[in-house]
Structures are given as structure tokens and as C-alpha cells.
Amino acid sequence: MPKKTKAKKTVKKKAQAKKRKKKVKATLTRERVLTESSDAAHELYNQSRFGNILEDGKVQLSLLEALYLMDKGKLLINDYRKKKVTFDDFIKKTKRVEPNFWIRYCVFKDIRDRGYIIKTALKFGADFRVYDRGVKPGEDHARWIIYPVHEGSALTWYEFAAKNRVAHSTKKRLMIGIVDNEGDVTYYEIKWIRP
């Protein structure tokens, strides 16, 4: 009897592991990615706040979120003709829409890999907003706004002051993510100090 019970448990564990590893299917449109309406897609949102759930049950992902999930082996992306999109194809297509995509992706990936939730911050006039570890959007406010820049790009004092003003007026900390040619990111947190 104990051997049969052990065998059943092993089969059950393998089935559960297989379920967990199933990739969510999605379709790439010009500026977004739509997943299938499935429990696995909803789990991406519920656990880590990837995308937004639409009325039809699909999850709408940003291009950055979709590439990250694809890179992690959690998402299978097809184009509108049902043709599989590879990692390199995805980057080529997104660079046409957003020339600064790779720099932004390097920062997005690095922050996600560190365990933070990162979302767009267009309404704040920034690229990203970042929440403390363990905090989900809607539970509390973001702590930082982040501007990704390439190490070779220049920023005028006027642009720098404007970014700092945005962070100060939204009561968030300003962080600049500088991406080098290898895709490594160095962060600088800037604070507004009154003399």
C-alpha cells in the first residue's frame, strides 16, 4: 500500500509541475500584447501585477512586460498571422515603435529581477514608477520614479532639474538608471535638498 500512495504522489507532483510550466499564449499587436483569457494569464497579474485585466478576461501587457515574461519562459508570443515571434524578432519590431526600447528594457528587467514591481509612469511625466518590495500597485504609492538613460547620452541641466521637479511634486524619489553598452544598469538616486 505505501508504494502505491508514494507513486500517486509522484505522479500528482509531476502533473502540478507541468501545469506551472505551461506558457501563456499571447498575440503581439503594434504597441501591446494581449494574452489568452486563462487562469495562467490571470495569475501573472495576481501574483506580480503584470499588465491589466480587460473586460473580456484577457491580460493586456506592455511591450516591456511581454518581453520580460517571454525571456523568463512564461509567455509564448505570436503575431497577428499566428506566426511565432522570437526574442530577436520582438526586439526588432518594438524598436520600430519605440527607438529607446532596449535601454528601457534593461532597466525594467533589472528592477523586476531585484524583486520590485515596476510600472509605467506617464501620468507623472516619467518612464517608470517603482514600488517597494512586497507592495502592489493600489495597496500603496510608488516610492521612486525612474528615468532610464544610456551612458553615452547627454542630459542638460534644464532637463535634469525638470526631472527632479517632477519627482519632488509627486512626492517620489528620483532615480536615474544608467545603462552601459553591455546592458548593465547603475542607479543614482537624486534628492532635492534645501540649504
Distance, CA of 22 to CA of 40 (rounded, Å): 8
131 is catalytic: yes
Using an 8 Å Cβ cutoff, are 185 and 104 in contact?
no
141 is catalytic: yes
Look at the alpha carbons of 125, 156, 173, 165 in this order and tell me if their dihedral is positive or negative: negative
* Catalytic residue chosen out of the listed positions 68, 131, 147, 163: 131
Using an 8 Å Cβ cutoff, are 99 and 177 in contact?
no
Distance, CA of 71 to CA of 8 (rounded, Å): 33
* Catalytic residue chosen out of the listed positions 12, 14, 72, 141: 141
Q: Which ranges of the chain does DSSP label H, i.e. alpha helix?
A: 2-21, 39-48, 63-71, 87-97, 101-113, 157-169
* Catalytic residue chosen out of the listed positions 74, 109, 119, 172: 172
Residues assigned a catalytic role: 131, 141, 172
